[in-house]
A and B are shown apart, each in its own frame.
Chain A
């Protein structure tokens, strides 16, 4: 009996990441064996976006502070990983004005895996440096500050042409992100995000999201916990940015600005900010909707209305904010099968009747 219940406890703990792994695995198999080759890029992109949206979720989901600045960390990851991996010969002829303190990078030629990890660490270090002001803010001021961070990094990237080539694209970035490597990173990101959420630290940060004063009353050091989430999420963003860079190869500063920010915020908010399941569901749901819309835009409408897809996505976002402010998953994890009947899906504010719909949405 005791063994059985211990087994159940273990199974319960692994349940959510396992379901999300299976979900991603299904997508991977569809792309590899069922769908035509034209979808490979879309699915690859989906896996990279999963890493990015989970990166955002680690901070915003657990702290309740929506960040508009996380794409900045992805930009840092993409640029650093590119600079570390571009063949030395190309680098020497391309980056003629590389500032002195970075000259060493011209002679470096790393493998993609190590450069991706280094890029994640670099993003985390930068996050640590800027954390001091950010973790002291909440609500709208926090949103504005993170947005300011985005503008700062973008301005730096576009102005500092000697390092980033500014509005011109990078040259010679190795195209090493494959559908399989992106898939594996997405699996890793799921585990990291979920393990953090379930950890002592993650639990404390979630408590501060629910009620900051009450969290302090049980000894939670709120700015510190926010800082931990902030740095970890920046690491995932750096990794995601590096993967993205090695996928599209020729990218410029504009790649990492408002549109990219809108994209990941849209996916996370629609899926459900406060859960890992929400992040993954949001990425898959929006990717599918986007493809359908794009097909309509370029097919039936023959490209006469460029931007239609984005317009409809913006409308969907507002619709979801009004009708389901906590997202498709209601911000909860996919429940253990036998718990579906339990009222854990209901919350008093929404009424018990909502419980059934919520289960239906995820399955």
Chain B
């Protein structure tokens, strides 16, 4: 008896570790995919209209508050309304702030996106207040499922399935539909696309609508996991997606998506495995990498090199 005990203990500990590793792996992949969706959105806006939209994070914040308001309603209602609200805000953002600046310099657009981001945060402070609001996910969402003897939370699996499905859907949409082809043409060379008859307003509104829908989905998955929403909720995920996007190449949809996925997965894995302060110092290295890549490989690590005359 005396000799059996420790063995059983270490066995169970080992089981526990394997369990953790798998949960972390699934989390990393599913949240990596979530960041990939965000990076894809940023890249879409960046390549169509030269806008690095820092206000994208605030769309997630808006989604979070919509969820907070609807937290006691049925999940179908919450799902639909959150996505609709975020999409509408995204399109309004274009209409009110960015359309009048269509011909402005990229620098001006950058300042404007800061202003929108800051303004929306202040709006949240003003209406809801600075204290984080709890959005407890539906109990069934956080339940663990047994898959092949390994338990993984349902939310991770849903996030994984939904984001992968969306990535495939967006890719297919961009490649197969007329609007998608126009959008892709615009990301390659917007002026040329306009010359051959692509209507600028239509394409840009479409880009904001698509990225709005994606932001809605990101908000649903992200806030369900974080469990609370505050005015600055969007900043963290935005920075990760943005850095990933730059590393992968914001000028290329594929490059940015891969960059967002890898960095998002890495950050999720690090947060699970490293003590908090060390994982924060990683921010320092991530942003140093951003500067290095901007100088050394401006088109990103995963994008094919732009062939342009100097």
Contacts and interface: CB of A to CB of B under 8 A. Distances in A.
Partners in one complex: yes
Max chain A Cβ within 10 angstroms of own Cβ: one of B119, B246, B281? B119
A315 B114 CA distance: 11
A322 B116 CA distance: 13
Interface stretch (A100-108, A172-180, A302-310): A302-310
Contact of A314 (B50, B52, B122, B291): B122
| Among A156, A307, A311: residue with most chain B CB under 10 A | A307
Contacts of B235: 258
A307 B123 contact: yes
A307 B294 contact: no
Q: Which of B50, B124, B283, B292 has the most CB of A within 10 A?
A: B283
B115 interface: yes
A315 B119 contact: yes
A141 B52 CA distance: 10
Interface string A285-314: 000000000000000000001111011001
A136 B111 CA distance: 21
A141 B298 contact: yes
A159 B287 CA distance: 15
Contacts of A68: 114
Interface stretch (B6-14, B17-25, B96-104, B176-184): B96-104
| B contact patch SS | helix
A328 interface: no
B290 A145 contact: yes
A317 B294 CA distance: 28
Given A133-B294, A144-B290, A318 B284 contact: no
A45 B58 CA distance: 30
A125 to B, nearest CB: 18
A151 interface: yes
Interface string B78-109: 00000000000000000011001100101110
A262 B126 contact: no
B122 A307 contact: yes
B116 A151 contact: no
A209 to B, nearest CB: 11
A308 B122 CA distance: 7
A152 B287 contact: yes
Contacts of B118: 258-259, 262, 310, 314
A321 B108 contact: yes
A185 B279 CA distance: 40
Interface string B277-302: 10011011001101110110010000
Contacts of A87: none
Nearest to A314: B119
Contacts of A258: 118, 235
Q: Binding site of A, secondary structure by majority: helix, strand, loop or mixed?
A: helix
Given A140-B110, A155-B280, A159-B280, A133 B295 contact: yes
A314 B239 CA distance: 21
Nearest to B119: A314
The size class of the interface chain A forms with chain B is 35 or more
Contact of B122 (A66, A310, A318): A310
B292 A321 contact: no
Contact of B97 (A133, A139, A259, A318): A318
B280 to A, nearest CB: 6
A205 interface: no
B100 A311 contact: no
Contact of B294 (A66, A144, A310): A144
A6 B116 CA distance: 50
Contacts of A145: 290-291, 294-295
B110 A66 contact: yes
B67 interface: no
Nearest to B289: A148
A306 B126 CA distance: 5
Q: Which 7 A-B pairs have the closest CB atoms?
A: A314-B119, A307-B125, A307-B122, A311-B122, A148-B287, A310-B122, A322-B100
Given A65-B107, A317-B111, 10 more contacts: A66-B111, A68-B114, A133-B291, A133-B292, A145-B290, A159-B280, A308-B122, A310-B118, A318-B115, A321-B115
Interface of A: 64-66, 68, 133-134, 136-137, 139-141, 143-145, 148-149, 151-152, 155-156, 158-159, 258-259, 262, 265-266, 269, 305-308, 310-311, 314-315, 317-318, 321-322, 325
